[in-house]
Amino acid sequence: MHHFALWVEFDLHPGRSAAFLEAARLDAQGSVDFEPGCRRFDILQDPAVPDRVCFYEVYDDEAAFLRHREMPHFKAYFAATEAMIAAKRVAKLQVVQRGKA
């Protein structure tokens, strides 16, 4: 079975990274704690460009990701961060091999 993955790149409005990261942490934690179909949710930040943040998310399948978007923690994250995002790029991927965590 190949898992469904997302790579999301955010360019944030200047000075919004701290608030964005706090909301993202709550969403990521809720995802791994309360969603059986969420296998991984990493938040990455470019130290040279603090207003650039990336998510790497892994789900059992695309249906699990769609369920994620209906969860209260995702809705809270989305409402809190929508105005902080200047640009967003999303790649939907298939995991063909997992490294050891």
Task: Using alpha carbons, select from 99, 98, 81 the residue that is nearest to residue 11.
Answer: 81
Q: Is the pTM of this model over 0.85?
A: yes
pLDDT digit string, tens, across residues 65-96? 999 999 999 999 999 999 999 999 999 999 99
Residue 40's φ and ψ, nearest 5 degrees, are -165, 145
Element (H, E) at 42: strand 38-46
pLDDT digit string, tens, across residues 16-54? 999 999 999 999 999 999 999 999 999 999 999 999 999
Task: Using alpha carbons, select from 63, 65, 75 the residue that is nearest to residue 7.
Answer: 65
For each of the domains in the chain, give its residue range(s) and CATH number, in order of start: 4-94 (3.30.70.100)
